[in-house]
Amino acid sequence: MLDTVIDIVAGTFMIVGCLMSLAAGIGMLRFPDLLSRLHAATKPQVLGLFLLLAALGLELRSWVVLPVLALAWLLQLLTAPVSAHMVGRAGYRTRHLKRETLIADELAAVVEAAEQREEAEHGQNGNRDRADFID
């Protein structure tokens, strides 16, 4: 009886995890701009991976694999937001986003201040791109 319940829970986790990963993939293709796509790539994908790893842990029924599964999820949990942040900053620097879809542009003030500081220190330089001023 317990094996049946564990199999049902593991199967449910696998199906929901696969649907979350599928939603992430569809969002990557369907969303209109870079920042929306980054959201779709990180949020449901991390949860989908967690559910798949949890299902794998339940199905294997071994304590030996749990540290490996936890490490895999922890690495994904740590790297997905950082990589999305870096891609988002690069997209902002190269203007690969739709500014009209932003509710608040918190980086604009930082970029403007950096540009003014650079102009004050070195004068007007026509060869510099706005991307050079963002930290």
* Interatomic CA distance for residues 58 and 5, integer angstroms: 10
How far is 110 from 133, CA to CA, in rounded Å? Answer: 9
Burial degree of 32 (CB within 10 A; 0-12, 13-18, 19+): exposed
Instruction: Let me know: does 38 contact 84? Beta carbons within 8 Å.
Output: yes
pLDDT at 89: 82
**Exposure of 38 by Cβ count < 10 A (0-12 exposed, 13-18 middle, 19+ buried)?**
buried
pLDDT the model gives residue 124: 58
Distance CA 31, CA 77 (A): 22
Among 27, 19, 8, which Cα is nearest to 49's?
19
pLDDT tens digits for the chain (135 residues)? 999 999 999 999 999 999 999 999 998 899 888 888 888 888 888 899 999 999 999 999 889 999 999 999 999 988 988 888 888 888 887 877 777 777 888 888 887 887 788 888 876 555 555 555 555
Please state the pTM of the whole predicted model.
0.71
